[in-house]
Amino acid sequence: MHIAIIMDGNGRWAGRRGLPRSAGHRAGAKTVDAIVTAAARRGVKTLTLYAFSAANWERPPVEVRALFTLLRRHLLTQTRRCLEHSIRLNVIGRRDRIGAGLVRVIEHSELATAHCTGMQLRIAIDYSAQHALLEACRALRGELAIDPSQFMAQLGAVDHCAGPASPVDLLIRTGGEQRLSDFLLWECAYAELYFLDCLWPDFNAGQFEAALAEFARRDRRFGRILEPARVAGSGRG
Q: Rounded to the nearest 5°, which phi and psi values hold at 147?
A: -95, 165
CA-based angle 223:227:228, to the nearest 5?
Answer: 130
User: Of residues 8, 126, 159, 169, which has the active-site annotation?
Assistant: 8
Is residue 90 flagged as an active site residue? no
The answer to whether the CB of 170 falls within 8 A of the CB of 143 is no
User: Of residues 33, 56, 204, 219, which has the active-site annotation?
Assistant: 56
Compute how many other C-beta atoms are within 10 angstroms of the C-beta atom of residue 80.
11
Is residue 56 flagged as an active site residue? yes
Q: Rounded to the nearest 5°, which phi and psi values hold at 96?
A: -85, -10
Distance CA 237, CA 230 (A): 15
Distance CA 78, CA 109 (A): 9
Distance CA 55, CA 156 (A): 20
Residues with catalytic roles: 8, 56
